[in-house]
Structure 1
Amino acid sequence: MSFTLFPGTRRGLACESLAGLSVGDALGAQHFVAPVDVAEPPDGPWPWTDDTEQACCLVATLGEGDFDRDGFAELLGRHHDPYRGYGPGAVVMLRQIREGLPWPIAAAAAFDGQGSAGNGAAMRAAPLGAWHADSLAHAAAQGARAAEVTHAHPDGIAGGVAVCVAAAVAAAGRLDGQRPRLLAAVTAHTPAGRVHDGLVEAAGLRDAGQAAHVLGNGTRAMAQDTVPFALWVADHFLDDYPGALAACIAAGGDVDTTCAIAGGVVAAYTGPDGIPPDWLAAREPLPSWV
């Protein structure tokens, strides 16, 4: 990649990805209230969920050097609101962290010592990838560091890595002025395992309905059945933010999370102009501390 990013530019890219992530999360969550038609979206405000809250903690942690996992864990423990839609396992873990249990112990103990293979690390990862638009290798490494705070299972970590790399690819394509081959780049930087296998399979699919059927739509809330589909959507609708969210909503399943992932990646490519202004206005304001 032939560009240099200064701190202000990095933060701008991350915040634009956060905007896409949070609008996707909030609109996707409305689908659980009543079916959403993106041509006539519901009136605001659209409350956001744990996807956005965790992404805000991530963005508030960003800085030079390696991702500050201790600082991120402290923010997650301090700010998490169980009523934002966190899963039971995440509520327990984050309460333990808030009460002083070191995050490596809390993450390793989850799910009877297996660690979480869920989609939580993936749903918050896009802004970190946009921050590292100048290096896919750094995006992958820092994506793993950020995922490990709550996800000790290889699949959970791989989901965070894949989304982080996808947003880096998307932001780099925007800066380079060239539409990237997103799925191919992400697959090359995602560790071997079920998420990687899903990305390989995704490359051969051409229809959104088929992609959701073959890859999963997040119904299990696992990285393996969420990330490949969400990134298939991002790849195929990279210059069409409303189209990306419409594809995720039509697929059903964990709609707020697939919309958050795809929305964060696509916004890294389109910039804020890709998000309809009335959608951004309808989204609940982000917390003041971010």
Structure 2
Amino acid sequence: MSEEKARRYAPDLMAGQVALVTGSGSGMGRATALEMASCGARLALFSRREEPLEETAEMIRAAGGEAFVVPGDTRDADSIEIAMGRIKDHYGRLDVLVNNAGGQYIAAARDITNKGFEAVIRNNLIGSWQMTRAVADHFMYENGGSIVFVTAISARTALTGFTHTVAARAGVTGMMKTLAAEWGEYGIRLNCVAPGTIKTEALGRYPIPPERWKQLNRSVLNRMGAAEDIAGTIIFLASKLGNFMTGEDIYVDGGETLHMGHDARDMINPDMFEKRERGDGKNE
């Protein structure tokens, strides 16, 4: 947390609040946790791997913040229940949940098995539901709170090669809107942040060299997004700044969706997809 980042918001913006960030061992989750801590929040850090969480926690503590590491798996309801008990014992409250954990792999739709499809749905949609339901049950029905889901711009556009995750992300968005309508009476606000192409270590999981990502950049701002760009929007929604916002799906993509959608056939491996006649009769 550099001094420059700490100045993005007032240092007491989230004072007194406890925030749980899933997938906070790296990338957007880590950036969100660090910036929330710089705003005075106390953090609960949740992910499957404990070591990266400890690294995030040490970064927060080195800057004078408070962090509590809670390893667990959003796909495992028992794991979540254990985490809720530990957070209750440690902090006694929870005001903010950031559902950031998720993951997917690239495959043409014809090559996705039912098992693979279900795995991505469980990771991105069911995992978010299980964490959201547990937090509401244990903390927010009585005291209200804010829940932010990190999805993707593909939830409303298209991303060939990722049918499974597009289905999951769209499901999260629909779930968020319905829960916002049902849970408003409890003082629970729910919103989505949909990132565009963000430069994090996660990009390295795809078979695209860094220079190719720059060539494929579709942001009208002529740059890739940074994890801090997403963190800033999450904090706006989670804090009192967004107190009258619920049920919103906010795109943070540098104008990427102005180009209307992605096509992984051009981006990654054209040979993965079948050759076919285009609608205008011209061969692809």
TM range (shorter): 0.3 to 0.5
TM-score (norm 2): 0.36
* Bigger radius of gyration: 2
Structure with the bigger percentage of helix: 1
Larger RCO (CA within 8 A; separation ≥ 6)? 1
Structure with the bigger percentage of strand: 2
TM-score (norm 1): 0.36
